[in-house]
Amino acid sequence: MSAKSLKRFLTNSWEVLEIVLIAFITVFLIRSFIAQPFLVNGASMEPAYSDKHYLLVDELIYRFREPARGEVIVLRYPGNNKTFFIKRIIGLPGETITITNNIVAVSDPRNPKESIIIQEPYLPMGSITGGDQEINLGENEYFVMGDNRNNSFDSRNWGPLPEEEIVGLVRLRVFPLNKFGLVKTPEF
């Protein structure tokens, strides 16, 4: 191999290595700070999201605004940071959540007489929101529940969700392909 061939080989190898390195760093930065995939495991969000649905989670949005009621999020389970759940935000910081006789109501302590009953069109017919209780949320705490209320381990069981446990907002369903599309948040 001549010196010229060796030099060309090394130059080409370096260019390939640069491309691979840039691609690796780009993927790492996107997955770490912007978006990451999430595979649904379980039935707590049925019928909207079922076992083996593949979702894309926006990790950047909550750096610019606060989470909103009705949004579907991925979170770290407060009892074990290695376990991830998918749930819907029902209660916001400072609110009081009251669950009584299958009715979910939210009130702001600054105006407790103005309680609103949460209308939940995304719930399956015949859903029962059990676990009658009243929970006062502190600063940076959220109340989350699964849409499949009879099969959801959520804030009714383990209490308020600290804001720092929120991973991100579910933005896109990738799989199954027949349900591919952007995720819409209901208006309250």
Kindly name the residue from 44, 107, 152, 155 that is annotated as catalytic.
Answer: 44
Token pair in block for residue 41 = 């495991």
DSSP string, 62-129: GGTS---TT-EEEEE-TT-TT-EEEEEEEE-TT-EEEEETTEEEEEETTEEEEEEEPP-TTSPTT---
Q: What is the DSSP letter of 157?
A: H
For residues 102 and 123, what is the distance between their CA atoms, to the nearest angstrom? 12
Question: Which whole-number Å values give the CA distances from 138 to 58, 72, 73, 180, 188, in the listed order?
Answer: 25, 20, 19, 36, 21
Kindly name the residue from 87, 107, 152, 155 that is annotated as catalytic.
Answer: 87
For residues 88 and 162, what is the distance between their CA atoms, to the nearest angstrom? 14
Give 172's Cβ-side CA count (13 Å radius): 9
Does the annotation mark 4 as catalytic? no
Token pair in block for residue 114 = 């103005």
Does the annotation mark 7 as catalytic? no
Kindly list the catalytic residues: 44, 87
